[in-house]
Amino acid sequence: RNTLYVVATPIGNLADISERAQQVLRSVDLICCEDTRHSARLMDHLGCTTPLLSLHEHNERDRSAMIVERLQSGQSIALVSDAGTPLISDPGYVLVNHVIDAQLQVVPIPGASAVITALSISGLPTDRWRFEGFLPSKTGARLKILNALATDHLTLVFYESSHRIEGSLADMAIAFGADRPIVVARELTKTFETVLRGTIADVQQAVAADNNQRKGEFVVLVQGVATEVVGIGDERVVALVNELTAIL
Ligand code: SAM
C-alpha cells in the first residue's frame, strides 16, 4: 500500500516479463503508462485487468500531484513505459521525484532495458561505459556532441531510431573516424534481431546495402579510445630510465 512500483516490461519478446512484474501489475490499483493502447496489448497478453492511465512527457507534471494523492489515500500504483525500464529515455523522472518528496515508497521491479541487453552481447568493454541516450536529430547539434565524446575512453552507448540511423552513423564516422570499432544491435529479442559488428565504415556499408537493416529500433555502441599501455621496453620508458640514471 502507498507504494509506487516502477516496473520494467519487455523490449520486444513478451516472454521477458518477470513473475514479480506480473504479480505487481495485477495487484496494484492503477497502472500509469505512456500510451494506454500500447500497454493494453501487454495487459491483454498477461490477462491483467488493472485500469490504465496515460502518463507522458506532456502531462507528467499535472498527473504526478494526483497520483501522489492516490498513493497517500492508501492505493498502490505501478509505472510502466512502452518498452523496457521506465525513466531510461522514458517518462517517470518527475513522478518518481514527486513520490520521493512526499516520503512515500518507490519500489523497483527490474527487468529488460535495451542498453543493458545490448551491452551484454556487444563484445565491447562493459566494465565502464557511458550512456548518451538519443542524439539530437539535426546534424550540427549531433556532431557537436559526438566531437566532444571523440577522445572518451569508455564504451559509448546511444539509442537510435530507424529514420536517423544512417545520419548518425555518418556523423560518427566524421567525429570518431571511420575505422573506429562499433556495434549496432537492432530489434533485440524480436524476430529480426541483428547485431552488426565491425568498423563504422563496415557497418555503414552493411546498413546501406540492405533496406531491412534500417528498420526497427537500434542501440549503437562505440568502442572508446584505447588507453595507451606503456610497456617496460617502450623507448619512452627506456629514455626516462636513462635520464633518471644520469641524474642519480
Ligand atoms: N525505456 C527503454 C529501455 O529501458 O531500454 C528505452 C525507451 S526509448 C524511448 C526507445 C529506444 O530504446 C529505441 O529507439 C531504441 O534505441 C532502444 N530500444 C528499445 N527496444 C529495443 C530493441 N528491442 N532493440 C534495440 N533497441 C531498442
* Centroid of ligand 1 to alpha carbon of 117 (angstroms): 10
Burial tier of 82 (Cβ tally within 10 Å: 0-12, 13-18, 19+): middle
pLDDT digits (tens, 9 = 90+) for 67-113: 999 999 999 999 999 999 999 999 999 999 999 999 999 999 999 99
Report how far ligand 1's centroid is from the alpha carbon of 28 (Å).
Answer: 26
Average pLDDT, integer, range 134-144: 97
Spell out which residues line ligand 1, taking CB within 6 angstroms: 11-12, 81, 83-85, 88-90, 113-115, 159-161, 185-190, 217-219
Does pLDDT of 229 surpass 70?
no
Nearest CA to ligand 1 atom 20: 11
Using a CB cutoff of 8 Å and minimum separation of 24, what contacts does 241-245 make?
none
Residue type, 203: V
Strand pairing report for 77-79 and 30-33? parallel
Q: Is residue 235 scored above 90 in pLDDT?
A: no
In ligand 1, which atom is closest to the CA atom of 87?
1
pLDDT band at 248 (very low <50, low <70, confident <90, very high): confident
